[in-house]
Amino acid sequence: MSTNASPAAASAVAAVTAPPTSTRREVRRIGLLVGGAPAVGALIQAFVGPGSRAAAATAAAGGAVVFAACHLAPRRWRDTLTGFRFTAVLLFALAAAAVLGTVFVQGKPAEYYPARYDALGTLILALRLDDIFHSLWFAALLGLLVAAVASSAVLRFPPRAANLGFLLCHAGLLATLAGAAVSSAFAVKGRIDLHAGGESTSKVRVTRNGALTGEQAELGFDMRLDRFDLASHDPEFRIAYYEPSRSGEQYSLRASFDLEVGVRHLLPHGDAFRIARLDPDAGGAAAELRNPAAVLEIRTGREVRETPLLFALRPGSNYARLPNGVLVFEKRAADVKSFVSHVTLTSGDDVRQARVAVNEPLSFGGWTLYQADFDPRDPTYSGMEAVRDPGVDGVFVGFLLISIGVAWMFYGGRRTGRLAASIARARRGDGQP
Amino acid sequence: MYVLAEHPWFLAASAAYAAATAAYAATWRSTRALVARVATGLMCAAIALNAALIAGRWISAERPPFKSLFESLVFFSFTTGVVYLVMERLHRTRVFGALAALMSFGCLAYAVAHWDAEVVKLPPALQSPWFVPHVVVYFVGYGAMAFATVAAALQLLAGRSAFFARLTRVKAGTALTGALDLEQVTFDAIRFGFVLLTFGLLVGSVWAKSAWGDFWVWDPKENWSLVTWLVYGAYLHLRRVKGWRGRRAAWLAVLGFAVVLFTYLGMGLLPSAEESVHVYTQSSQS
């Protein structure tokens, strides 16, 4: 708009470009809901202590209240709650909260925040930005999501083929949120530390956010560690190239090479080397005596030289200097490949022998046992996590419904036909696909 | 640059992507069928070389090559290229080829800057049947979002530059048979990517449950994966809102991909990164 336009013309243009009144009112209602819910949550949390159960209860109660209120209030409120604009704004609000949870370190002791963030630390604690995802204002936002998803799903009931994907996806979201709320409120998680051949246990040391609470929970069965297998990858010998840092005090690994005799390798700054001779069993063929030795042929510029015999396990005799770095013949520490607990579980007459490994949890007596830790200094020790989670089935069902629903929504039935038709039109050259 | 001299196949794949970029850029000017076929041929060659890099690494490392940032960049380059080729076939246009090939080339160039000094073993937590599906689904989804961003960027540029506006109408490389609806192309790619991001997020969550006993622990990487999903979810919802098509939708698609890139590469910048079990370290990822 030009700066010398008349006031009348300017107001006319403004009237044309301004959103219609109904849209403005909808935006206002959205602002009230998305701004008001966390504000109410923040107010409640001034009187209610933090915790998973309080958060789950706030989300559930908040969702129910908003759902009921929007269905009892004039229809425009329900239309707003089920509208695409509202959902988009709510998704952005949830995204902003999730981002905040990564900007501020979460779950540290209260004294950490003033120490790290100075005056801002007090504000962080007051708004519970130190534990956003258990705060009641975040729970209130989730409650709003529950109300919106439930309202949108109810609107499309009974399902038809056209909206089946939408319904499944939103039912899945509800099932997932319900399962997560049950998990959050009622799941018990704890540690079990056992030694192979040692005493059995029937208790779990309860943890919250990874820290021991001092409480113990009954497993309801007896658990004994019969054997603990800690397996490592085979140790490797390698030729490694290091370069010094700018200060020259530290060296960092730049490249590493397999023991391939005769293969020429390039290095930074135009240098090169190859293994001229390799004796893998220098020192003795027995594993405990093994000390591989190699002679390297190094090319720097036009100069070619051979190193003396480098012994991988003889410090001081295992490296060769280059103008810009150093080649070291060395042994790599053996990385842990797997650790597995072989346990016996006894519950009355029910005796079961089983194994627990990483990614292979074991379910027994309502608990699921996870392999968590080992101690390289104590090969008999096994650290396990025990979880009793009544919400897990709801979450799994929710995931399944979301997966089917999202796929159906975008590619099921009618929409697949529409996509195929649009591509066919594009191929025919009808312009708009 | 010694890395490229030491690894000639990597150099060949990079060079093929660079050549494909140039050839696709030539299709913006030329309507000759030969130029178009050469561009597609170079892209196919680049993707084949890229696949060979992945397969070679898989064999030499004796594990899926998705552990380190370097390895994932090589795979991202591949999925971006493959998704583009499928879209080229579906939409019968090479207009997006130059930018898509440039993205794949950029991934490989960035990988060179983050070259693994040493191939590391897979820790027990990553030895899971969920590992490969989780990574593959996510990176194909990222590839789709990269393509959507290319289309959205062209849509935005077409509104400002006569050159780019003409691109959406010319028979670039003889492949295009009508005016392109760039917004529809962007939407098609995003909804495809969104389905994959959803699967990836859920598979990751199930995997976390089987490995650690928790579906979700609000780890920074998890949070940003959720943010990505929420932003694209908002895009899909706003498409149904009056006034949110056109340039606004295109900017939202670009914003979505910016979040993808931050989720993928920017975690180390966060103050909470030290708390994460998923953030890439120098040569490792979980």
Query: Which value, in Å, is the radius of gyration of the alpha carbons in chain A?
Result: 32
The pLDDT value recorded for residue B181 is 85
Tens digit of pLDDT for each residue in B71-95?
999 999 999 999 999 999 888 888 8
Of A106, A359, A392, the CB nearest to B127: A359
For residue A67, which of A153, A135, A139 has the smallest C-alpha distance?
A: A153
> What distance in Å separates the CA atoms of residue B115 and residue B108, rounded to the nearest whole number?
10
Higher pLDDT, A269 or A273: A273
Tens digit of pLDDT for each residue in A81-129?
999 999 999 999 999 999 999 999 998 899 999 999 998 999 999 889 9
Mean residue pLDDT across chain A: 88
Residue B173 has pLDDT above 50, yes or no: no
CB contact under 8 A, A399 and B205: yes
pLDDT mean over A398-402? 97
The pLDDT value recorded for residue B148 is 97
CB contact under 8 A, A88 and B230: no
The pLDDT value recorded for residue A51 is 86
> Which chain A residues contact residue B215 at CB under 8 A?
180, 183, 395
> What distance in Å separates the CA atoms of residue A229 and residue A132, rounded to the nearest whole number?
40
Of B192, B202, B237, the CB nearest to A87: B237
CB of A319 closer than 8 Å to CB of A329 = yes
Q: Which stretches of A168-289 are assigned E, i.e. beta strand?
A: 188-195, 201-208, 211-232, 237-244, 251-257, 265-266, 272-279
How big is the CA angle at B23 (ends B18 and B27), to the nearest 5 degrees? 145
Residue A158 has pLDDT above 50, yes or no: yes
> What distance in Å separates the CA atoms of residue B71 and residue B283, rounded to the nearest whole number?
9
How big is the CA angle at A305 (ends A303 and A310), to the nearest 5 degrees? 150
Q: Residue A70 corresponds to which tokens in the numbers above? A: 């929007």
Lowest mean pLDDT among A237-246, A418-427, B108-117, B159-168: A418-427
Q: What are the start-end ranges of the H helices in B159-246?
A: 162-167, 182-212, 220-238
Whether B123 and chain A come into contact, CB under 8 Å, resolves to yes
Whether B215 and chain A come into contact, CB under 8 Å, resolves to yes
> Which chain B residues contact residue A208 at CB under 8 A?
none
Q: How far is B191 from chain A (nearest CA, A)?
A: 7
Tens digit of pLDDT for each residue in A168-181?
999 999 999 999 99
Phi, psi of A95, rounded to the nearest 5 degrees: -65, -40
Whether B128 and chain A come into contact, CB under 8 Å, resolves to yes
**Which helix (H) or strand (E) covers residue B36, if one does?**
helix B33-61
Count of residues for chain B?
Answer: 286
Cis check for the bond before A38: say yes or no (omega within 30 of 0). no
Of B120, B213, B242, the CB nearest to A370: B213
Q: How many beta-carbon contacts under 8 Å exist across A and B?
A: 168
Contacts of A16 (CB under 8 A, 6+ apart): none
Q: Residues B286, A175, A102, A125: is their CA dihedral positive or negative? A: negative
Q: How far is CA B172 from CA A50, B39, B169, B220, in A?
A: 61, 11, 8, 43
Which pTM was predicted?
Answer: 0.89
> What distance in Å separates the CA atoms of residue B94 and residue B84, rounded to the nearest whole number?
9
CB contact under 8 A, B2 and A103: no
How far apart are the two ends of chain B, measured CA to CA in Å? Answer: 28
Tens digit of pLDDT for each residue in B38-59?
999 999 999 999 999 999 999 9
> What distance in Å separates the CA atoms of residue B173 and residue B165, rounded to the nearest whole number?
16
> Which chain B residues contact residue A189 at CB under 8 A?
213-214
pLDDT mean over A360-378? 94
Q: How far is B71 from chain A (nearest CA, A)?
A: 15
* Cα A278–chain centre separation: 45
> Which chain B residues contact residue A338 at CB under 8 A?
124, 127
The chain A residue lying nearest B5, using CA atoms, is: A266
> What distance in Å separates the CA atoms of residue A93 and residue A145, rounded to the nearest whole number?
10
Of B6, B117, B124, the CB nearest to A336: B124
CB contact under 8 A, B188 and A419: yes
The pLDDT value recorded for residue A5 is 45
> What distance in Å separates the CA atoms of residue B215 and residue A402, rounded to the nearest whole number?
15
Of A101, A335, A429, the CB nearest to B178: A429
Residue B159 has pLDDT above 60, yes or no: yes
> What distance in Å separates the CA atoms of residue B126 and residue B105, rounded to the nearest whole number?
28
> Band of the pLDDT at A431, cuts 50, 70, 90?
very low
Whether B205 and chain A come into contact, CB under 8 Å, resolves to yes
SS (HEC) of A256-300: EECCCECCCEECHHHCEEEEEEEECCCCCCCCCCCCCEEEEEEEE
Q: How far is CA A381 from CA A353, B108, B137, in A?
A: 18, 44, 37
Residue A414 has pLDDT above 70, yes or no: no
A327: helix, strand or coil: strand
Q: Residue A348 corresponds to which tokens in the numbers above? A: 């009355």
Query: Which value, in Å, is the radius of gyration of the alpha carbons in chain B?
Result: 19
For residue A13, which of A3, A23, A22 has the smallest C-alpha distance?
A: A3
Residue A16 has pLDDT above 70, yes or no: no
**Which helix (H) or strand (E) covers residue B154, if one does?**
helix B131-158
For residue B177, the 8-state DSSP code is -
Residue A416 has pLDDT above 70, yes or no: no
Contacts of A300 (CB under 8 A, 6+ apart): A271, A322, A323
Of B92, B119, B205, the CB nearest to A426: B92
CA dihedral of A322, A325, A327, A330, whole degrees rounded to 10: 150
Of B2, B206, B220, the CB nearest to A268: B2
CB contact under 8 A, A233 and B121: yes
Contacts of B27 (CB under 8 A, 6+ apart): B35, B36, B39, B94, B95, B97, B98, B172, B173, B175
The chain A residue lying nearest B92, using CA atoms, is: A427
Tens digit of pLDDT for each residue in B94-128?
889 999 999 999 999 999 999 998 998 899 999 99
Higher pLDDT, B163 or A33: A33
> Band of the pLDDT at B175, cuts 50, 70, 90?
very low
> Band of the pLDDT at A420, cuts 50, 70, 90?
low
The pLDDT value recorded for residue A289 is 65
Phi, psi of A253, rounded to the nearest 5 degrees: -70, 125
The pLDDT value recorded for residue A328 is 96
CA dihedral of A120, A125, A128, A129, whole degrees rounded to 10: 30
CB of B43 closer than 8 Å to CB of B81 = yes
> Which chain B residues contact residue A166 at CB under 8 A?
none
Contacts of A303 (CB under 8 A, 6+ apart): none
